Structure 1
Amino acid sequence: MSFSSSDDDGQQRFALGFLFALITLIVATVVGVAVHKSGSARAPKTVAAAVAAEDAASVRVENGVVKFFFATAKADLAVGAAEALADVVKGVAEGKKAMVSGFHDATGDAAQNAELAKSRALAVAEALKALGVAEDRIELKKPEQTEGSGSNAEARRVEVALSAS
């Protein structure tokens, strides 16, 4: 009988070990799926954030040219416009002119885009006036090629550069 009792104990240990391994496998699978889904859920938010950032107003200074980028169908200046225009204001005070040129993207109605590019250029000119630049020191110049190249976000811009009087 003792042989039979020891055989039963071995089967019970095997069954408990198997059950423990099965529970561990199920828990690991559930945790893995949860982690995978939470990682997937973040991807669209990241893409959405990138798209939103691309369509937000911004301003950059590149090689002495101040570039204002605008959100789709908007003419609102980005935060930091006054700081970006500081060198332009200084250059105008030294006798130069501020050349303001507006560009637009290739989407939508061409006439509306041209009008929006003009509104954006006027908004930048108004910002220069608010910083003390005399109106006769600001020149609005329609570029030969008003439709910007590159991405639509890059194309929706106004550039401000200094030129000799």
Structure 2
Amino acid sequence: MRRSPAALLPLLCFLAVPAGADSYFPNTTGLSWRYSNGEVQSAGKPRVLRGVSVIPVGHSVYGKLVSEDYLEYTAAGVFLRGVQSGGRLNWYSPPLQVYPAAPLVPGQVWTSVTSGGLKLSGRVVGTQALRTQSGSYNAFVVRSEVTAGGTGPGVQASSTQYAYFVPGLGVVRYQTADGSTVDLLK
């Protein structure tokens, strides 16, 4: 089962949440984030999956687990190794780079492509002050585009999302491909 680009973008909003060096991308077991769309993301205990040490991140909606991301943290950044959804594990080889090594800086770009042709491109487009129910922040605005499919007209599908990332906290807001805004509540 191939995941559509639009299906991956909600997963990527979290991906700003756990991660690598120190606490820039927090990844402590038991951390959770509750969003205005009813989703709760929770970092689980590190484990080894297919020989890779990953941190699982569960995505629950109104108390029901709908998917789990498997993130790997390295000196090069945060990588999505796989996604468990609907009883099926989609393992990415090579993994998709969600974030480069800390610190993020405006203008920074990165791209990764799996052997199956799934492509993730990211760019820190700038910073923005914003206020949400959970507080006021100065956030990095990260544009992520996921593209799936082959080459040629009408063969590719792509989706774009914006995440508002605060170092040490995670994603405090994201804007979905349809323009909807989802805010961190707690």
- The alignment's TM-score, normalised by the length of structure 2, stands at 0.25
| Higher RCO (C-alpha under 8 Å, 6+ residues apart) | 1
> If the length of structure 1 is used for normalisation, what is the TM-score?
0.27
Higher strand share: 2
